[in-house]
Amino acid sequence: MAVTEMREALNQALKEEMTRDEKVFILGEEVAEYNGAYKVTKGLLDHFGPKRVIDTPISESGFTGLAVGAAMMGLRPVVEYMSFNFSLVAMDQIISNASKMLYMSGGLFNIPIVFRGPNGAGPRVSSQHSHNMESIYAHFPGIYVMSPSCPADAKGMLKAAIRCNDPVVFLENELNYGLKEDVPDGDYIIPIGKGDIKREGKDVTIIAWSRAMGFAKQAAEELSKDGVDVELLDPRTLKPLDMPLIAESVKKTGRVVVVEEGHFFSSLGAQVSESIYSNLFDYLDAPIARVAQSENPMPYAANLEAATLPSVSKIIQAVNQVTYRN
């Protein structure tokens, strides 16, 4: 175990899985000669060569379709999008082909493929490069959606995704690539659908994932100074949700705040809330509070960007709401 950045943890996962299984290969824009836009694929070209680390033209629909065909023939592609905003160009391939192929072929074609890259807002990249895509892809059957919040999870989750025989959308965050923590060596696997309690608490459950978990951790520290004992729950896999873990936490605390970077309307947070209301209503001591991105395109100005996104202060306000401390 060693202190490792998230980008390095993802690189470890890729290298280990490509070494373990010669059918695994990676393709995308600048993944080879440039070592990846965020250096997640650093050194892989030198180690595995150009047949397994492939620079593609600027055509997401084209190289995504190529990867789906390769998966149909038994290979295990990892598709990197320089930004998951660019996956919008390839949605027909991801949704109409990759996620539907097993069903449409009557079980003849598994599609063992991972679509990965940075999701959500970067620093001041404005409205066309700040989409949060998780609820879009989670909407469609036949596809798993995963989103790590820390380096150790990033490694263990990506290895599980690569070994999955079905399509996985693996959503990272540009602003998390530099996070550092101890990451296990070797064959460290976090199963798909398995969440994690990042902090034990008894007063309120905060459910958050990806970059939002960082805000939630800061809020929990601040709230602890005021006597509020927060439990932090990271679903890690967004589809399917780890409802047994969520149920265990909700039954203990009776109060829930859901924090996400996506927009408020029709979001993953809305689905999480509905799942709790449908299955755990009798255990709630207060209505669920939600913290999400406001309903506007992402501004360019730094102050307006900050006002749009979730924040520590917004989370504290939501916790105060569900604990009737306002």
How would you class 296 by CB atoms within 10 Å of its CB: exposed for 0-12, middle for 13-18, buried for 19 or more?
exposed
How would you class 286 by CB atoms within 10 Å of its CB: exposed for 0-12, middle for 13-18, buried for 19 or more?
middle
What is the spatial distance between Cα 291 and Cα 309, in angstroms, rounded to a whole number? 9
What is the spatial distance between Cα 41 and Cα 26, in angstroms, rounded to a whole number? 9
What is the spatial distance between Cα 237 and Cα 198, in angstroms, rounded to a whole number? 14
**Residue whose tokens read 């109409």:** 96
Cα dihedral sign for 247, 234, 206, 181? positive
Q: Which residues, including other chains, have CB under 8 Å from residue 172's CB and lie 6 or more apart?
A: 6, 10, 40, 116, 117, 118, 119, 147, 148, 154, 210
Whole-angstrom distance between the N-terminal and C-terminal Cα of the chain? 43
Query: E strand or H helix at 256, and its extent?
Result: strand 256-263
Whether the Cβ atoms of residue 181 and residue 230 lie closer than 8 Å to each other: no
Nearest residue to 132 (alpha-carbon basis) of 171, 92, 90, 80: 171
Residue 128 is given by DSSP the state G
Paired strand residues for 207: 233, 258
Active site residues: 60, 129
Q: Which residues, including other chains, have CB under 8 Å from residue 250's CB and lie 6 or more apart?
A: 205, 256, 276, 280, 283, 284
Residue 171 is given by DSSP the state E
